[in-house]
Structure 1
Amino acid sequence: MLLQFSIKNFRTFKDKATLSLIASNYDKDTREHENIVINDNFGLRLLKSAVIYGANASGKSKLLDAFAFMRYFVVNSSKESQKGETIEVEPFKLSTQTENEPSEFEIIFVHKNVYYRYGFEATAERIVSEWLYHKPKTKEVELYYREGSTFNTHERSFTKGNTVVKEGLVRDNALLISVAAQFNEKTAINVLDWFKRLKTLSGLNESGYQGFTMGRTEDPDHKIKILDLLKAADLGIQDIELQKLDINSLPKGMPKELKDKIIKEVREEKQEYVSDVLTKHKKYNEHLKAVGNISFSLDEDESSGTRKFFALTGPILDVIENGYTLVVDELDSKLHPNLVCKIVLLFNSKEFNKKSAQLIFNTHDTNLLSSGLFRRDQIWFTNKNKFGEAKLYSLADFKSDEVRKNDPFEDNYIKGKYGAVPFLGFFENLKFLLTENENEGQKS
């Protein structure tokens, strides 16, 4: 499970920003049974979900982009295709102090009953520093620390990683953790395994994971679970069916090279292409009695919200079934607020989320603040100051006499009590501008 994620000098975040999923002590009597997982090995109380609010351009999405970047870079930086490529970091550009400094990332998690702390600093050209610590029992042990091309490695606990360093196999733009995993360093493999279990999605564009859900429907057991979620969402869908591409009905305007490739793969390699998903709905007669089913095209007949929720069902079920961590940018986009509440409830539920999967997402949906689903330590905000610097903080960071557990969080947030809302004073000038324009129109 994820414990903590920190970034520094990355995009809109100049100073260090830390998102923590370690539960606070003064909220112990609030949704303790539902929203908290107890890790007895390390004496931790961990949150199953966290929501992030903030004005437009305040850093909400940039924070989640940092998750996606770190995951991708850890998993892929050792690959030969990355040789000579720049590292996709972007320092805070609005300050002369930071524009040429490295970006920093650190993550703390528990995987297979071991506590890990891993991080690195990087510029576009090279890794400036990198570190890995683990805590098998009670004491944190340094497995390696890298500063530029100088490595200090634990010879007994990071043996193969030590060999990789001595052989000079780590490029300036590659992470030791990634290279060591390729050479079967057990600890490095475990770290990469956790990163692969960290799933990041865009709530604005479901095309990137709709194919995953479509593939899951071909397994009868998974299809049943997907259908159960769709029915629970009250979308009127009774069944789903994949419509396979008919190579005899390919579009006339399709490029010949692509058409020949598809025909060859279908005929010779027995590959199948899905052209659409058919959703089945009940059909009624004049007496409002069901007389059969009718098929709709997911792409052409269903709403954008239905398409998005269908696409989400596969990743959500996969994450919950396996105890992964899911990070979603704009989860609420296209979805009804009540449906977003139900998704959060799935993750908070002890009955459905038996492997302690975690959900982190950002949203503008303030209804969630009055839903009673979140504790104060699960509600986070991003706020940008006049210098363009984004800050990240939790409702639990306020003093207890400033924010009480029974306060109307939604009303207070909208009123600006917690910050993280846009300053719209300029709109007060629009009346003056409108009047001025009207007067000019009358003069002419």
Structure 2
Amino acid sequence: MLIRFNVKNFLSFSTRDNGKSEEFSMLAGKVRSKKEHIYDDDNIKLLKFAAVYGANAAGKSNLVKAMDFMKKTVINGLPEGHTDKYCKVDPENKFKDSYFEFEIKLGNSYYSYGFEVVLNESKFLSEWLLELTPDNKEKLLFSRDIKNGTFELGGPLNTKGLVNKMRVYAEDIKDDSSVLLLSIMNQNKRNLYQEYKRASILKEIYSWIKDGLDINYPDRPISDYSYMANTENVEEICRIISAFGTGITNFEMVDVPIEKIASQLPKQIRNDLLSNLEKRTIEMKSNDNLKGIGIIMRSDKDFFILNVDKSEEVTCKTIQFSHGERNVLFNLAEESDGTVRVLDLLEILLSGENKTYVVDELDRCLHPSLTYKFIETFLQKAAKSNIQLIVTTHESRLMDFDLLRRDEIWFVNKKKSGESDIYSLEEYNERFDKKIDKAYLEGRYGGVPVFSTVFPIKED
């Protein structure tokens, strides 16, 4: 689960007045109501939901992009175009370091992983992994001062045998300031983790960043609908879909001629798909435990599952939905944008434990009442599972103390300098009977647009 995220010198986030990074936190505040909204292990209390508000261009999406940037950097290295991502409000920032850090809970322990990088020069300056203790102490697991070429190990990583292994990997990248050790330690290192169980924390941290943190943008499909292919989910999915008033009463997987799908695909995508199928078919033949392989294809308005069995027979299925009592089936492309958005979001309600979803512009294509209903449903589910949802939104109706806690409401506000600030409603200590949505729209907490006259009226 996410505890905190810190960022400095990235897009509209510069530094705070004290020189520190901007901080977004899922730590619960002093609110006593709605205790079912928090995770509490007697050492730490974490929120399971947070809504981030702000005017257009205030920096809400930049918070999501900052998390995504860190995730992509760990998994695939510095993303294309990174040299231009520093905070440009101050020309000097071009030469300053940018700071990214996740604090997360894994199992019964808490960790801090982060790095500093000069984006314009594509150079990492430092990288660290710490274990955090309930009494606010830090235990070093590893630390790299890349600029000065030093490396230090501690805790379970500082053990005989493993130290030598780790130092070899660290030495290999000692003079390479474009590579992260956490990334290197998760490239073909299965045998290492089998031999040194205590090193598995490196794999667990990486796995949470890669698979436990799910980041979604409004112009991309959130879900590949794989959860609908599981017949055990059908009854639950239908119940939820019906509750959201989409008019859908049922759905089923139906066969589609593979030739029809192939003819609709662009040549390059078709070639890539065939190459992928051929590669995975070879893997299947060499693995007796695999009875078949499946590939899911998803676009904005299409969904297909390709299956290949041991005899290399290829079948294709898609999903169709029925409305009303006549059981007439409709393709995904025939459903409204709002219904498709609901179907995408269902995965969040059906997902397992210990996953953190970040959704930019949750309310896109959704009626305000439906957005409210979705959050209400999520919070009901989250009361029984350890799952987190962080959203950016303009939907002020969510600012309802019957629905949310004060510390679950955050704001991003852009200062006159062009820098973005992140802060929580918890800082305002509002009474629980106050009309928060009205106060927000009136500009009480910042994060709303300030309009000037678009067409000045000329005076005679």
Instruction: Please indicate, yes or no, whether the TM-score normalized by the shorter chain is above 0.5.
Output: yes
Distance 1:341 1:58, change over 3 A: same
> Given that residues 44 and 134 in structure 2 are in contact (C-alpha distance below 8 angstroms), is that contact kept between their aligned partners in structure 1?
no
Q: Distance in 1 between matches of 2:116 and 2:271?
A: 47
Instruction: Give the structure 1 partner of residue 239 of structure 2.
Output: 228
- TM score, norm. by length of structure 2: 0.80
Alignment of 1:258-337 (within 5 A): 269-274=312-317, 276-283=318-325, 292-299=326-333, 301-318=334-351, 321-337=352-368
**Unpaired segments of 5 or more residues in structure 2?**
16-20, 194-198, 278-305
**Is this contact kept in 2: 1:11–1:62, CA < 8 A?**
yes
Counterpart position of 1:147: 145
**What pairs up with 1:361-400 in 2 under 5 angstroms?**
361-370=391-400, 372-398=402-428, 400=429
**1:36-57 CA distance string (max 9 Å, x none):** 22122xx222111110000000
Aligned counterpart, 2:52: 52
Query: Mean alpha-carbon deviation: is it higher for 86-95 or for 59-68?
Result: 86-95
Q: TM-score, normalised by structure 1?
A: 0.82
Q: What displacement does 1:148 show? A: 1.5
CA distance in 1, matches of 2:268, 2:62: 39
Alpha-carbon spacing, 1:131–1:162, altered in 2? closer, same or farther (3 Å): farther
Change (3 A) 1:258 1:414: closer
Structure 1 counterpart of 2:439, from 412, 415, 419: 412
Q: How much does 1:179 deviate? A: 1.7
How far apart are the structure 2 equivalents of 1:67 and 1:259? 32
1:122 offset after TM fit, Å?
A: 1.3
1:152 aligns to what SS in structure 2?
Answer: strand
SS of the residue 2:229 aligns to? coil
* 1:135 aligns to 2:178 (yes or no): no
Deviation, 1:200, is 0.8
Task: Name the count of aligned residue pairs.
Answer: 403
Deviation at 1:258, TM superposition (A): 6.8
1:157 aligns with 2:156: yes
Closer/same/farther in 2, CA of residues 269 and 315 from structure 1, 3 Å limit: farther
* Aligned-partner SS, 2:457: helix
CA contact (8 A) 1:144 1:153 kept: yes
Q: Would the aligned equivalents of 1:10 and 1:89 in 2 still touch at CA under 8 Å?
A: no
Partner of residue 6, structure 1: 6
Change (3 A) 1:247 1:177: closer
Task: Render the CA deviation track for 1:126-181: whole Å, top value 9, x for unaligned.
Answer: 21111111036654201122122523322552244763333423342121122223
Task: Show the counterpart of 2:178.
Answer: 173
Q: Over the residues paired in the alignment, what is the CA RMSD in angstroms?
A: 2.8
Residue 22 of structure 1 pairs with residue 27 of structure 2: yes
Q: Which runs of 5+ in 1 are unaligned?
A: 284-291, 437-444
> Shift of residue 375 of structure 1?
1.6
Query: Which residue number in structure 1 is paired with residue 284 of structure 2?
Result: none
Q: Distance in 2 between matches of 1:255 and 1:358?
A: 37
**Counterpart of 1:54 in structure 2: which amino acid?**
G
Structure 1 range deviating more: 385-394 or 216-225:
216-225
Letter in 2 for 1:172: S
The answer to whether the 8 Å contact 1:89/1:123 transfers is no
The verdict on how the C-alpha distance between 1:38 and 1:259 changes in structure 2, with shifts beyond 3 A counting, is: closer
Q: Which residue of 1 aligns with 2:379?
A: 348
Aligned mates of 2:324, 2:433 — CA distance in 1: 44
Seq. identity, %: 29
CA displacement, residues 67-110 of structure 1 (integer Å, 9 cap, x when unaligned)? 11212222333xxxx8x977577110121231221211111111
Alpha-carbon contact 1:201-1:329 (below 8 Å) kept:
yes
Is the CA contact 1:110–1:116 (under 8 Å) kept in the aligned structure 2? yes
Tell me, what secondary structure is at the counterpart of 2:185? helix
Contact 1:330 1:362 in 2 (8 A): yes
CA apart distance, 1:322: 2.1
SS of corresponding position for 1:173: coil
Is 55-64 or 225-234 further displaced after alignment? 225-234
Contact 2:37-2:382 at 8 Å conserved across structures:
no
Q: Equivalents in 2 of 1:341, 1:245: separation in Å?
A: 37
